[in-house]
Structure 1
Amino acid sequence: MKIMQTVAAANGLSLQASERPTPTPGPDEVLIRVHAAGIITAELDWQPTTHKADGSPRSNAIPTHEFSGDIAACGEGVKSFTEGQAIYGMNDWYQEGALAEFTVAPATSIALRPKSLSYEQAATVPIGALTAWQALTTHGHLQPQQRVLIHGGAGGVGFFAVQFAKSLGAYVIATASADTIPFVKSLGADQILDYRATRFDQELRDIDLVVDTVGGETLARSWNVLRSGGRVVTAASDIPDDAPHKIKDAFFLVQPDGKQLSEIAGLLDAGKLRTFVKAIVPLQDAEQAYNQSISSALRYGKTVVALAP
């Protein structure tokens, strides 16, 4: 099968076309013929891309861990899916990813593809939507009428978080760049701050929950706006080893969840949730998606690699 794999380059990792044997699904796994894969541009710098789960070095990883496609085969014990079904989902960061004609994932990490979405649209959903939902509910315990601040409201997690928070009955405040403010407003945000023009921690107080997707100084200043007992959760990937304890406690890593993806598919098909494709590129141009050299009419949404018609 055709793949794109990481290789060492002068300025970090780059991608190289190669070929590998088609993998075989193990017990409780499915083999997926990949139609489209969603890109997270920072993934080439992440620890699971360069190291194995035991901490030893990893080379020639196949990146991209959210996808849509068709089930090509089911491993032993899989009873919830059958060959030929259209699905979407994600797999573990340490597994080989979806910049390949085929990938393997646990059956519990996928769901039937939303009927209203194309394969390319569906590939933009799993990681962003699951991260947003788990940040708000599993870790943030957001309740109706509470005030939530979402950093990066136009980002791949942020635009889902704005929609979910609004549907949960919260008062939604988001930070965004000036040119994406109309977009974030269209998602239902009650208040939007231009992060370049306004210091959010000078404008806001008594926030119940901060959902951070930015990290760095933005995350460090987020505790300044909380009410007593308020919470910060972050999915930012740049948490240093010497970070303060409260920052480490705020961090979480999204967990694959096929049941949640089924619920999210229902919201998408009912028109209660929207997703956005920024650009679509073929497999051979995947590196351009990572270095963000692809021109696009949209300033928001996720870039997708298309592997099959």
Structure 2
Amino acid sequence: MKAIRINEFGGPEVMKIEETERPVPAAGEILIKVYASGVNPVDWAIRNGTNQSLRSFLKLPITLGWDAAGIVEDVGSDVMAFSKGDEVYGVPDFPGDGSYAEYCVAKASRFALKPKSLNFNQASAVPLAALTGWTGMFEHGKLQPAQRILIQGASGGVGSFAVQFAKAKGAYVIGMASTANLDYVRQLGADEVIDYKTQKFEELLQDIDVVLEASPVRDNGERIKALSVLREGGIFVSVNTDFKFNDEMIATVNNKKVKAELALNQARQEWLTEMAALIDEGKVQVFIDKVFPFEQAAEAHRESETWHVRGKLVLEIRK
């Protein structure tokens, strides 16, 4: 089979299309015939090797991609949830070979039946970003109906899903984005929007229940501003798990009597199933910025690295 692999860390040019052996599913795993893979910042963070918290898990060579949609080709022993021919979506195992390939294997528990209303390209744009937002808001942030949430980076891959999930669950959503993306965030369903380029959110908001940091900004000073808008007992959640809280941030958390969490993505089948239902009910839409052919993975990475993507990028593995 063909797969896009790296044998060294570096720029987009280190990605090569190679012929490799088709994997065989072990117990508890499924083999997926991949039709499309989402393209995420974690893909190029792994590729360039500069993120030490990720690099310590990696053993080269490796196939990139941790967002997949396709058809079950084979199942390992003990797999009861899927049969050959099922259309699925989910997150391949990490660390391990990913979804920039014609086939990949993964733990069955990290996949679910894909939303019926989506094609493979659309479905591949969902899992990683959607699960990141879901894990942050509901597992760590404990977001409840009627609570007020501020979502920073509301127009990005994670933020786009977070806004919609929060609304679908009955929360009051305030989305932060750049001037050019405010209408898009309103389209997602945000009750209020804040332009981070021209407005100071810390002066406009108070008594917020949850803040979700889904922006690429890695600045503990900005995090401390976010803590200032929380009510007592409120929760700040960051999906930027590679950027730890500093001493000042931790001291502010304790003084203000709030909580702060770093939310590591959790790939759970039951969450993917619930998200598929929300999508099929029309409560959540999938917004794709661009679709790239398999041979243009390097161009997809360059686009992602601009941090100016609205929604998601997709790599089409096969038609």
TM-score, length basis structure 1: 0.90
Contact 2:39 2:304 in 1 (8 A): no
| Equivalence for 1:195 | 196
**Distance of 2:23 and 2:223 partners within structure 1:** 40
Q: Structure 1 residue 182: deviation in Å?
A: 0.7
**Distance of 1:16 and 1:47 partners within structure 2:** 11
| Equivalence for 1:100 | 101
| Equivalence for 1:304 | 314
Structure 1 residue ranges, 4+ long, deviating more than 6 angstroms after superposition = 47-54
Q: Secondary structure at the match of 1:157?
A: helix
Distance 1:211 1:293, change over 3 A: closer
Contact 1:51 1:57 in 2 (8 A): no
| Equivalence for 2:218 | 216
Identity of aligned residues (%): 34
**Distance of 2:248 and 2:92 partners within structure 1:** 30
Contact 2:46 2:54 in 1 (8 A): no
1:284 to 263, 288, 295: 295
The aligned length equals 307
| Equivalence for 2:266 | 255
**Distance of 1:101 and 1:58 partners within structure 2:** 21
Q: Secondary structure at the match of 1:143?
A: coil
| Equivalence for 1:58 | 59
Name the stretch that deviates more: 63-72 or 2-11: 2-11
Contact 1:46 1:237 in 2 (8 A): no
AA aligned to 1:261 is: L
Q: Structure 1 residue 221: deviation in Å?
A: 2.5
TM-score, length basis structure 2: 0.88
Write the mapping of 1:127-138 to structure 2, written as runs, cut at 5 A: 127-138=128-139
Contact 1:52 1:94 in 2 (8 A): no
Name the stretch that deviates more: 38-47 or 8-17: 8-17
Name the stretch that deviates more: 107-116 or 298-307: 298-307
Q: Secondary structure at the match of 2:314?
A: strand
State the Cα deviation string for residues 239-266 of structure 1 (Å, max 9, x = none).
1486667499510111111111111111
| Equivalence for 1:72 | 73
Q: Structure 1 residue 60: deviation in Å?
A: 2.2
CA RMSD of aligned residues (A): 2.8
Give 5+ residue unaligned stretches, structure 1. none
AA aligned to 1:305 is: L
**Distance of 2:313 and 2:304 partners within structure 1:** 11
State the Cα deviation string for residues 109-144 of structure 1 (Å, max 9, x = none).
111111110100000111121122222211111122
